[in-house]
């Protein structure tokens, strides 16, 4: 193991590489260069850092200082920082800049990123930037923003490495050897051959190019490409990239015309981002929240979710209020109320997680609600019985009353069945109603399991009162 780790730098080594010379720490040097308006020095200071580290340093600045830094560093480096930032933050950073400077920076991005950033802006801001960009880039952006984010069209780059049916191997090799700046946008792509209508009819491998005569036509060495429609969803794209070892796929419109290329890296990144977003939504965090965002915006987003939870918790608390006499008579019950609601909530959250995953993979739909309920109810019966028995024995031994153990055990068993049923089905019902299941499932599950748990414990205790006191 030591030999394996020997070639990897330690965190202390990485930190040591950060520029902290006699001129001061990175933060101090940034402040000095900002005060002097020295964009070249700022670029030289931050560019050697990993992009995530450089972005962290930028986000530690005040909003006005960020604006100044992005305005005076090199355009290429500013574009790299925007590319590193989450989409919503990238849009905010660009929106605060002068339209001409913003247009220059956005122009350095790949077309899919250009569309993502422009899509985050208000219409007047977007138009002000687009009016200052290259006409070809503007056309690509306007086309790409019309696609849904999690589709081939929304994930593709509009730039495709294309050649005509009359082109030769030599034409491709000359293009590969050129110093054309636009060629960088074709990185990772194989040459695609398109017909007069712009439809992809073939693709050429690099091996085929290197082993063929320069005078050979591309049509002689091409193979038929696997193309995907622009409307293909992310789930299906993942399936294709898992099945085939392609680095990218040509994207076509309904008429068969080539409109871009979607890469494996873009699909993997989108899948990872979606998983992270859904995880945050389950905790009530909506959007790409970062602590560098305005305080009022972060507070408002969180309060929207927390305020709704207050109402739901008041409803749950009203159940306890209705059984005050039972609680007063058998105070031991109060010890077990949070256990019953919490354990049931955990079971329900497991069901929610499975339903959310299957929804994202396209394995279930709202019409499958009954089938999902049957499967979850089966798990709930088994787990509820086991958990109910365990906590019932604990209550009996702890408080010395077998009937108290019976009340708590039966309540937890029934509430577990209710929780997994709700957790499995509610995301499907919310999806059917057009609501975001990732945001709403958690609060609904918590409220219903709390209410049901409190009601089951207290109602059973009331019915068995003579045996408990």
CATH number of the domain enclosing 375: 1.10.357.20
Average pLDDT over residues 56-84: 92
**pLDDT band of 16, cuts 50, 70, 90:** very low
pLDDT, tens digit, for every residue of 167-176?
888 888 887 7
Note whether 257 and 316 are same-domain residues: no
Q: How many domains does the chain have?
A: 3
Residue with tokens 């219903």, as numbered in its chain: 448
* Whether 458 and 315 share a structural domain: yes
Give CA–CA dist 41/72, Å, rounded. Answer: 10
Q: Examine residue 63 and state whether it is found in any structural domain, yes or no.
A: yes
The Cα–Cα gap between 442 and 453 comes to 16
Mean pLDDT score across all residues of the chain: 83
Confidence of residue 26 (pLDDT cuts 50, 70, 90): confident
Using pLDDT thresholds of 50, 70 and 90, give the confidence band for residue 317. confident
Contact partners, residue 366, CB within 8 Å, separation at least 6: 428, 429, 431, 432
Q: What's phi and psi for 329, nearest 5 deg? A: -80, -35
Percentage of the residues of the chain whose pLDDT score is greater than 70: 84
Q: How many whole angstroms separate alpha carbon 51 and alpha carbon 29?
A: 18
Q: What angle do CA 301, 302, 303 make, to 5 degrees?
A: 95
Mean pLDDT lowest among 181-190, 241-250, 356-365, 431-440: 181-190
Q: Tell me, what CATH number does 260's domain have?
A: 3.10.580.10
Which pairs with CB-CB distance under 8 Å and at least 24 residues apart come from 298-307? 305/439, 305/443
Q: Under the phi-then-psi rule, with left for phi > 0, alpha for psi from -120 to 50, and beta for the rest, what region is 353?
A: alpha
User: When comparing pLDDT for 346 and 357, which is higher?
Assistant: 346
Q: What is the DSSP letter of 244?
A: S
> Are 309 and 263 part of one and the same domain?
no
More confident residue, 227 or 314: 227
Distance CA 324, CA 333 (A): 11
Residue 117 lies in a domain: yes
Shared domain check, 249 and 207? yes
**What is the chain's percent helix, strand, coil content, to nearest 5?**
70, 5, 25
Q: Given pLDDT bands bounded at 50, 70 and 90, which one contains residue 89? A: confident
Residue-level pLDDT at 373: 92
Mean pLDDT of 304-322: 74
Does residue 413 register a pLDDT over 90? Answer: yes
Per-residue pLDDT at 15 exceeds 50? no
Q: Looking at the predicted structure, is the pLDDT value of residue 287 above 70? A: no
d(CA 402, CA 390): 13
pLDDT of residue 258: 92
Q: Are residues 256 and 398 in the same domain?
A: no
Would you state the pLDDT for residue 237?
Answer: 92
Q: Which residue did the predictor score with more confidence, 245 or 280?
A: 245
- Our CA dihedral for 289, 233, 436, 91, rounded to 10 degrees, sits at 30
Q: Which of residues 148, 183, 203 is at a domain's end?
A: 148
Task: Locate all alpha helices (DSSP H) within 260-362, ordered by sequence.
Answer: 264-282, 295-321, 324-329, 333-360
Distant-in-sequence, close-in-space partners of 413: CB < 8 Å, separation ≥ 6: 384, 385, 387, 388, 389
Query: Residue 323's pLDDT is what?
Result: 81
Asked whether residue 317 is assigned to any structural domain, the reply reads yes
Three-state SS for 181?
A: helix
| Mean pLDDT, rounded, for 15-34 | 69
Residue 292 reports pLDDT greater than 70 = no
* 251 and 360 within one domain: no
Between 170 and 279, name the one with better pLDDT: 170
Measured CA distances, 446 to 198, 293, 350 (Å):
54, 29, 12
Q: Is 447:410 a contact under the CB 8 Å cutoff?
A: no
Note whether residue 2 is domain-resident: no
What is the C-alpha separation between 119 and 113, in angstroms, rounded? 10
* Residues 27-39, mean pLDDT to the nearest whole number: 91
Q: How confident is the model at residue 291 (pLDDT cuts 50, 70, 90)?
A: low
Q: For the domain that residue 127 is a member of, what is the CATH number?
A: 1.25.60.10
Give pLDDT, residue 112: 84
**In this structure, what DSSP letter does residue 151 have?**
B
* 284 domain residue, yes or no: no
Residue ending a domain, choose from 148, 179, 209: 148
- Can you give the pLDDT at residue 111? 84
On whether the CB atoms of residues 385 and 417 are closer than 8 A, the answer is no
The answer, yes or no, to whether residue 330 has pLDDT greater than 90, is no
| Structure token pair of residue 82 | 């925007």
Q: Same domain, yes or no, for 168 and 135?
A: no
286 lies in a domain?
A: no
Domain that holds residue 252: 162-267
Residue-level pLDDT at 284: 56
Give the mean pLDDT of 137-147. 86
Instruction: Report yes or no on 328 lying in a domain.
Output: yes
Query: What integer pLDDT is reported at residue 179 of this predicted model?
Result: 56
Judgement on whether residues 454 and 319 belong to the same structural domain of the protein = yes
User: 122, 148, 174 — which closes off a domain?
Assistant: 148
The pLDDT score that the predictor gives to residue 102 is: 93
Average pLDDT score over residue span 462-469:
84
More confident residue, 333 or 386: 386
**Any domain includes 290:** no
pLDDT greater at residue 203 or residue 6:
203
Is pLDDT of 8 > 50?
Answer: no
171 class by beta-carbon count within 10 Å (0-12 exposed, 13-18 middle, 19+ buried): middle
Task: Using the predicted structure, report yes or no on whether residue 304 has a pLDDT greater than 80.
Answer: no
pLDDT at 65: 92
Question: Do 101 and 176 fall within a single domain?
Answer: no
Report which of 397, 409, 417 is spatially closest to residue 461, judged by C-alpha positions: 409
Asked if 310 and 459 sit in the same domain, the reply is: yes
Specify whether 378 is located in the same domain as 318: yes
What count of other Cβ atoms lies within 10 Å of the Cβ of residue 325? 11
Q: Tell me, what's the pLDDT at 9?
A: 42
pLDDT at 32: 92
Residues 223 and 356 in one domain: no
């Amino acid at each position: 193991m030591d030999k394996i780790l020997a070639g990897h730098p330690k965190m202390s080594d990485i930190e040591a590489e950060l520029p902290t010379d006699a001129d001061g720490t990175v933060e101090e040097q940034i402040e000095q260069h900002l005060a002097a308006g020295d964009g070249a020095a700022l670029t030289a200071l931050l560019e050697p850092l990993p992009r995530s580290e450089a972005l962290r340093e930028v986000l530690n600045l005040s909003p006005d200082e960020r604006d100044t830094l992005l305005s005076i560093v090199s355009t290429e480096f500013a574009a790299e920082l925007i590319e590193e930032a989450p989409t919503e933050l990238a849009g905010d950073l660009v929106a605060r800049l002068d339209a001409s400077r913003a247009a220059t920076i956005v122009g350095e991005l790949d077309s899919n990123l250009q569309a993502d950033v422009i899509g985050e802006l208000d219409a007047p801001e977007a138009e002000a930037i687009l009016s200052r960009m290259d006409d070809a880039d503007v056309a690509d952006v306007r086309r790409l923003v019309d696609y849904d984010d999690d589709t081939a069209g929304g994930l593709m780059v509009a730039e495709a490495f294309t050649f005509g049916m009359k082109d030769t191997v030599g034409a491709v090799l000359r293009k590969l050897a050129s110093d054309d700046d636009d060629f960088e946008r074709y990185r990772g792509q194989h040459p695609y051959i398109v017909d007069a209508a712009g439809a992809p009819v073939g693709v050429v491998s690099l091996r085929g190019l290197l082993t063929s005569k320069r005078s050979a036509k591309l049509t002689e060495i091409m193979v038929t490409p696997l193309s995907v429609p622009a409307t293909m969803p992310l789930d299906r794209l993942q399936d294709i990239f898992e099945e085939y070892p392609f680095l990218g796929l040509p994207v076509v419109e309904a008429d068969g015309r080539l409109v871009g290329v979607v890469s494996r890296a873009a699909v993997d990144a989108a899948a990872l981002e979606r998983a992270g977003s859904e995880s945050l939504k389950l905790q009530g965090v909506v959007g790409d929240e970062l602590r560098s965002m305005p305080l009022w915006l972060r507070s408002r987003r969180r309060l929207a979710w927390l305020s709704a939870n207050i109402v739901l918790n008041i409803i749950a608390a009203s159940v306890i209020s209705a059984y005050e006499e039972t609680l007063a008579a058998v105070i031991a019950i109060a010890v077990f109320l949070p256990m019953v609601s919490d354990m049931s909530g955990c079971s329900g959250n497991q069901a929610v997680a499975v339903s959310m995953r299957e929804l994202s993979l396209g394995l279930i739909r709202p019409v499958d609600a009954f089938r999902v309920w049957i499967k979850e109810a089966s798990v709930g019966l088994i787990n509820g019985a086991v958990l109910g028995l365990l906590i019932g024995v604990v209550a009996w031994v702890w408080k010395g009353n077998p009937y108290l153990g019976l009340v708590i055990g039966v309540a937890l068993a029934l509430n577990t069945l209710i929780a997994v049923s709700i957790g499995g089905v509610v995301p499907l019902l919310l999806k059917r109603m057009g609501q975001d299941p990732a945001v709403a499932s958690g609060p609904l599950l918590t409220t219903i399991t709390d209410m049901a748990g409190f009601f089951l414990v207290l109602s059973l205790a009331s019915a068995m009162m003579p045996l408990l006191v």
